[in-house]
Chain A
Amino acid sequence: MYTFSSKLKVFSFVLIIVGLLGIGYSFISAPKTTADVEKILEAEAHAHHGAHDAHAHDTHGHDTHSAEAHAEHEEHLNHVLHQLQNKPWAALYVAAIFFMLISLGVLAFYAIQNVAQAGWSPVLFRVMQGITAYLPWGSALFFILLILSAFHFNHLFVWMDPDLVNPESPKFDKLINGKKGYLDEWFWLIRAAVFIIGWNLYRYFSRKNCLAQDEASDNAFYKKNFNISAGFLVFFIVTESIMSWDWIMSVDPHWFSTLFGWYVFASFFVSGITVIAMVTLYLKSRGYLEHVNTSHIHDLAKFMFGISVFWTYLWFSQFMLIWYSNIPEEVTYYVTRIEQYNLPFFGMVAMNFIFPFLILINTDFKRITWILVMAGIVILLGHYVDFFNMIMPATVGDKWFIGIGELSSLLFFLGLFILIVFTALTKAPLLPKRNPFIEESKHFHY
């Protein structure tokens, strides 16, 4: 049995508290009115261009078109206000979806291992179940965020603005109006609830059956788990695709991409595998995983390597097809990212592809703990940036920054993740007893 080290527990509490304080601060310090925004913009203009530009701006305000210019200016202020008010929400949203999807990625990996009757991984099943213990909590928190969005506590999803689908309104948007049969708050929330409940049901019953199999005298629970895992994988791939449209693509409701679901999947799947490897290495270093040897670690590292390359393949395929044909309604997605998010956009390719590719291509390196931990940290940060790049351009635009709000959201969810995962690991023995493949797995050697 694993005992949660008190040091790690305290560490996770510190992360949660620091994160909460930072999140609170970022909400309080977000501007409330356009007057606040004006001050911020003026301060920025001073910092960037000096007094001269500000003076030129003033004289411009006095010309003959002053009324029109004033209205335009007001509109601009309103736009920036929405972006700045979105910032703490978007920071929370990115961190919440990132950690929830990590545990979902682990759940998918676990289901695949069950269905594939993998001979190497059963010694890691309890680790995977521990990580997926975050899913009920993470998805509940995330669902609350979705409800808050649907009830207009924030402007993360622009299509939720009722004026956009009202033909009488000056803000009427024909494109969004055409999608209103799908993009409807209630339909959207019900879909989300169905997905989250479905995933959690699988997670609950597969864990229950796995524990029951320990005490059983035949393989009935194992077979049950095999069947529900196969069913879950079908459910998962459908819901994963729709989830990616609903929760990520719909922040850009004018834009669409067909391989988006796969792209999102690859991103959180590799993150999930990386987290399995990191938790395994941690538990192993504490002496808890007697039967895990370097060959198991090597296999996880191969998955990290392979799925990193797979992610890059999808990233590039999506980017290159749109870049090549350059159709205006599609390409704006990348234009904003390359112009306003240049470093994160291309930096993540270095972090998610070039670095793991060059490090993890070596067989010997795939067995060395510190190299794997280093590669794992880079991969996880890289995929956080990936989700950042998916959400931020549509919600905060060029006002993005990885500051207190973003970092403290990340810390809060990291603390919560550590607390829940390692608490769950103490609840059951780390080695499944009567899994039909457990002996093979104990002696796995590559």
Chain B
Amino acid sequence: MSTKVIQALYNDDDILMDAVKETRKAHHHIEEVYTPFPVHGLDKAMGLAPTRIAIASFLYGCVGLSIATWMMNFIMIQDWPQDIGGKPSFSYIENMPAFVPIMFELTVFFAAHLMVITFYMRSKLWPFKQAENPDVRTTDDHFLMEVAVHDNEEELSDFLKKTGAVEIKVVEKH
């Protein structure tokens, strides 16, 4: 079954913001908005839920810290506690200052890289991914709002025209 969407193109982010607010007020469902650059406050205007990626990153950092601690405790203290230059290897805490640079770096490494990978997975981004751009102009100087149609095509396109759209397209989506 195919569904119809209306794609309204704007050429100014201020007009787009107002259009998004009006569309939400009129209870039309915004499927997606395509912009060439981040528009400050757009997520709030669209009512998108806040991201939880910072929480994920914090947890990844905890994993990195644990792995660093476990690794160095096993290698330097448990497995083969050698005397290297008089450093005390009797317990982890006694030699901890020497391990802190690694604990710090691994925490940052895990927090950063796993967060980026999480971002790629959640946004479905990968090297040979087919681009989902509905109109090439949206990467340059146009903004596009996609609104779902439910037997109200006429009314909806009139409404979107009034919000300042420079172009209205009705598209069949598969």
Contact = CB atoms under 8 A, between A and B. Distances in A.
Contacts of B54: 363
A324 B98 contact: yes
A324 B97 contact: yes
Interface residues of A, number: 8
B39 interface: no
Contacts of A319: 97
A323 B97 contact: yes
A326 B54 CA distance: 39
Contacts, number: 12
A413 to B, nearest CB: 34
A390 B97 CA distance: 20
A361 B111 CA distance: 14
A401 interface: no
Nearest to A361: B58
B contacts with A: majority SS = helix
Contact of B86 (A316, A320, A326, A363): A326
Nearest to A358: B58
B166 interface: no
Contacts of B98: 320, 324
Interface string B46-80: 00000000100010000000000000000000000
B100 interface: yes
A328 to B, nearest CB: 13
Contacts of B58: 361
Nearest to A313: B104
Nearest to B61: A361
B98 to A, nearest CB: 6
B11 to A, nearest CB: 26
B114 to A, nearest CB: 17
A324 B86 CA distance: 10
A326 B86 CA distance: 10
A326 B85 CA distance: 11
A324 B100 CA distance: 12
Contacts of B86: 326
Nearest to B58: A361
A374 B98 CA distance: 32
A405 B54 CA distance: 46
Nearest to B87: A324
B111 to A, nearest CB: 11
Interface string A190-202: 0000000000000
Contact of B97 (A320, A361, A363): A320
Contacts of B97: 316, 319-320, 323-324
A323 B54 CA distance: 35
Interface string A312-328: 00001001100110100
Interface string B113-153: 00000000000000000000000000000000000000000
Contacts of A363: 54
Contacts of A324: 97-98
A33 B54 CA distance: 62
Contacts of B100: 316, 320
Interface of A: 316, 319-320, 323-324, 326, 361, 363
Given A316-B97, A323-B97, 10 more contacts: A316-B100, A319-B97, A320-B97, A320-B98, A320-B100, A324-B97, A324-B98, A326-B86, A361-B58, A363-B54
Interface of B: 54, 58, 86, 97-98, 100
Top 7 A-B pairs ranked by shortest CB distance?
A320-B97, A323-B97, A324-B98, A316-B100, A320-B100, A324-B97, A319-B97
12 contacts: A316-B97, A316-B100, A319-B97, A320-B97, A320-B98, A320-B100, A323-B97, A324-B97, A324-B98, A326-B86, A361-B58, A363-B54
